[in-house]
Structure 1
Amino acid sequence: MRLVRHPVLCNYYVTYRCNATCGFCDIWEKPSPYVTLDQVRANLRDLRRLGVRVVDFTGGEPLLHRQLPELLAEAKRQGFITTITTNGLLYPKQAERLRGLVDMLHFSLDSPNAAEHDQGRGVRCFDKVMESIALANSLGERPDILFTVFEHNIGQIEAMYEQICRPNGLVLILNPVFEYNGVGGTLPESALQTLTQWGNRPSVYLNDGFVQLRRDGGNHINKPVCRAASTTIVISPQNELVLPCYHLGLQTFPINDQLHELYRSAAVQQLVALEGRLPACEGCAINCYMQPSFAVELSKYWWKALPSTLKYNRMKGTWKQLLPSL
């Protein structure tokens, strides 16, 4: 049963450029412009009309956009919940300008060991993450650690939790790796069991729907779980609507300050209707789209995701901002 019939999230790619070269991501390989403040301002107005509540300013590395504080300020002015994920390289330089503008600030950290983390990211950034944690805490920003879990680093969760998260009062977000376009990966059952155990610990967030979906073999096109196109609006740095999702990206539509009308057009809605049903959707378990998919439709995944979702929103206090839409 569908509970919410409008998009709730916008993945707003402010640029595809990145100052890291992570092996489990191919976004940084793409040439890219930067979005403009005027484009963002107009699109945010239409996102609000469409029912979107959360805007994830993403990339690439979003802090490469020199006007990111202005973009965030505009989103806050229009009443959105904001989130960014950063590798931390540029955060110390921009921390003061970003202060108070990010509701969910995530620092990517994939190992408590500096050399291992830096090797996976293709650039020395571990020390910058640690500097960013201290600086953000000093500014009252309450960041999270986003730990992308692979088979090779799952044994490091305890060290991450005990050595970095708990001493700094941080929430540890366990982000199971996913596979797309020949990058990323999958996790065996033993790893899924370990994740489930850790998800029950204080100040640890793991969406149990992710684990269940992987055990079920991902999305199946004959009975799709994915609601990517109807829950999540994806905007590219070229100011285009990307459908049915970023990772599949079958078709793009120029927005031209007409996002509301464009999204409701017949051409777009025909693609929306194919969400989760296209051949490439078989077996998909991409977290970016499954989390909002679980939230809008009553199913076993909704029930699996509910406890962890309530837990995280209670820890971060974001439930208060969602109340007007309930």
Structure 2
Amino acid sequence: MRLISHPVLCNYYVTYRCNAKCSFCDIWEKPSPYIQLEDVKRNLADLKKLGVNVIDFTGGEPLLHRQIDQFLEVAQSMGFITTLTTNGLLYPKWAERLKGKVDMLHFSLDSADKTEHDTGRGVACFDFVLQSIEIAKSLGERPDILFTVFKHNLDQMERVYEEICLPNKLMLLLNPAFEYNQVETGDQLSAEELNYLSAFSKKKWVYLNEAFVQLRKDGGNHIDKPICKAASSTLVISPENELVLPCYHLGAQKFPVQGNLYELYNSPEVKKLIALEGRLPACEGCTINCYMQPSFAVEMNSYWWKALPSTLKYSLRKGTWKRMLS
């Protein structure tokens, strides 16, 4: 049963450029422009009309954009919940200007071992993450640690929790790695390892969407009965100011926005593509977290119930439920 008929999230790519070269990501290989402030203002107004609640300014590395603080400020002034994930390299330079403008600020950290983390990220950023934590805390910010989970770093999860999250009173967000396109992410987590993640997530200040675990056990999205609602729950806007459908990772079609995002999203051509969400051949077996999370939120089914406890846990800890109600 569909609970929310309008999109709830916008993944707004400020640029595809990145100052890291993560082994499990290919976005940094793409040439890319930077989004423009006037386009952002127009698009945010249309996103508000469409019913979107959350704006994720993403990349690439979003802090490479010299106007990222202005984008966040505009979004917050319009009542959106804002979120941003960074590798930490540039946060110390941006911290003062970002203060109070990011509702959900995530620092990526995949190991408590400097060498292991920096090797996976393709750049020396471990020390910058630790520095970013200290600076953020000094400014009264409440960042989270986003831990991308692979087979090879499962043993690091508890160390990150015990050595970094607990002493700093930070939420640990567990993000099971997913496959897409030709990107190599190694062997997928076994049922036993997924059960370990679920058990670990019961700890204080640990977040894991249990629906992610169940979806993997079920073999991912199935095109004959899709759980994915990527295109109807989420809008993707590219650095070229295009609406990307049905999601960034598939990117089957791109439509120039041209100042008319609201009309474009409601056009017959786009609606036809939205109707195919989760049903295209490439959608079979998909477990991409950033599109499944909103998919679980808009339709009541077994995944909705699986996702509910962790969603409430995070919202209560971060206080975002207050913003949603207002």
TM-score by length of 2: 0.99
1:255 aligns with 2:257: yes
Tell me which stretches of 4 or more aligned residues in structure 1 moved more than 6 Å: none
SS in 2 for 1:180: coil
Correspondence for 2:50:
50
Cα separation, 2, equivalents of 1:253 and 1:246: 13
Cα separation, 2, equivalents of 1:119 and 1:110: 10
SS in 1 for 2:151: coil
SS in 1 for 2:221: coil
1:246 aligns with 2:245: no
Correspondence for 1:273:
275
Report percent identity of matched pairs: 69
Among 285, 288, 297, the alignment partner of 1:286 is 288
Correspondence for 2:100:
100
SS in 2 for 1:56: strand
Look up the equivalent residue of 2:36 and give its one-letter code. T
Correspondence for 2:89:
89
SS in 2 for 1:120: helix
Correspondence for 1:215:
217
Deviations 1:176-221 (A, max 9, x none): 0000012134211121011001111110000000000000000000
Cα separation, 1, equivalents of 2:298 and 2:109: 29
Provide structure 1 residue ranges, at least 5 long, that are not aligned to the other structure. Answer: none
Correspondence for 1:159:
159
Equivalent pairs counted in the alignment come to: 324
Cα separation, 1, equivalents of 2:87 and 2:2: 36
Cα separation, 2, equivalents of 1:101 and 1:190: 40
Among 232, 238, 245, the alignment partner of 2:234 is 232
Correspondence for 2:191:
189
1:64 aligns with 2:64: yes
Correspondence for 1:309:
311
CA RMSD of aligned residues (A): 0.6
Name the stretch that deviates more: 145-154 or 187-196: 187-196
Deviations 1:68-90 (A, max 9, x none): 00010010111100000000000
Correspondence for 1:174:
174
SS in 2 for 1:262: helix
Correspondence for 2:139:
139
Provide structure 2 residue ranges, at least 5 long, that are not aligned to the other structure. Answer: none
TM-score by length of 1: 0.99
Cα separation, 1, equivalents of 2:12 and 2:218: 30
Cα separation, 2, equivalents of 1:43 and 1:322: 20
Deviations 1:51-82 (A, max 9, x none): 00000000000000000000100101111000
Cα separation, 2, equivalents of 1:192 and 1:46: 39
Among 284, 294, 297, the alignment partner of 1:295 is 297
Aligned positions of 1:9-88 closer than 5 A: 9-88=9-88
SS in 2 for 1:283: coil
Name the stretch that deviates more: 185-194 or 17-26: 185-194
Deviations 1:93-148 (A, max 9, x none): 01000000000000000000001000000000000000000000110110000000
